[in-house]
Every structure is written in structure tokens, then in C-alpha cells.
Amino acid sequence: MSAIKYTKDHEWVRLDGDVATVGISDYAQAQLGDVVFVEVPDVGKSVQQGDEAAVVESVKAASEVYAPVSGEVVGVNGDLEGNPAAVNEAAMDGGWFFQMRLSDPAELDGLMDEATYTDYVKELG
């Protein structure tokens, strides 16, 4: 398992072989509050880096989840439909949103590593 990379929009991506798992950061789920609904993309959908790929709704707000990298959706976390609170319980593990096969792995190089993301979040207050 490789290191997790982050976006400024608080998505994370973890590459395992040629498949990347995507979710929102623990910081993002904490800001959202209690997650009540998650809409994941359809398997087979192609997304470009920065495209809206999923939606997460909480008691506070609805928010888009953007694709941190470009590729094709090859799997989704079906457990979120019946248990959207999994995002709050384990945003970095069982609360993942979708998996994708990358079309341009070099896009990962433009994302933040954990230390950089931690500093970024601290700057947000």
C-alpha cells in the first residue's frame, strides 16, 4: 500500500497497484458533521481530475467530492448507501467513496503528502 495523497478540497487518494481508492479526509468529515447521504459515481464512469465525482450530504451542508486524479471508476463503496455515517466513523478507511483505475498516474505528483496536508489544514484554522 502506498502513501495517501490529498487535495486542497480535502479528498484523499491511496494507490494500491493500478487501482486508487478515493474518499474525503477526516478533517472534511469533521467539518461536515453527521453525514446522512452519500451519492457515489457509477462504475464505468470516466472522470477528469477536478471533476465532480460524488456527493456527500450532512445535517449541515451538501458538498461535492471531486476526482483527485483522472481515470475510470471501477468500484464503489456500496455500504455507504445504507450506512452513510461510516464516513464519520472511518473517513480514511471504511468510509471510502469509490475506486478508480488511473489514466495518468503522474497526476498524483501534484497532490499533497500527509505532512503537507496537515500543515495546510492548520493554516485553515
- pLDDT category of residue 1 using cuts at 50, 70 and 90: very low
All structural domains of the chain, each given as residue ranges with its CATH number in brackets, are 4-101 (2.40.50.100)
Cell numbers for 55: 456527493
Listed in sequence order, the residues at least 6 apart from 14 whose beta carbon sits closer than 8 Å to its beta carbon are: 1, 2, 3, 4, 5, 20, 21
The pTM (predicted TM-score) of the whole model is: 0.95
- pLDDT category of residue 2 using cuts at 50, 70 and 90: low
Predicted confidence (pLDDT) per residue in 33-46, tens digit: 999 999 999 999 99
Which of 2-11, 70-79, 113-122 is least confident?
Answer: 2-11
What 3-state class would DSSP assign to 18?
coil
Q: For 29, list phi and psi in degrees, rounded to 5.
A: -65, -35
Predicted confidence (pLDDT) per residue in 57-111, tens digit: 999 999 999 999 999 999 999 999 999 999 999 999 999 999 999 999 999 999 9
Pairing of strands 19-24, 11-16: antiparallel
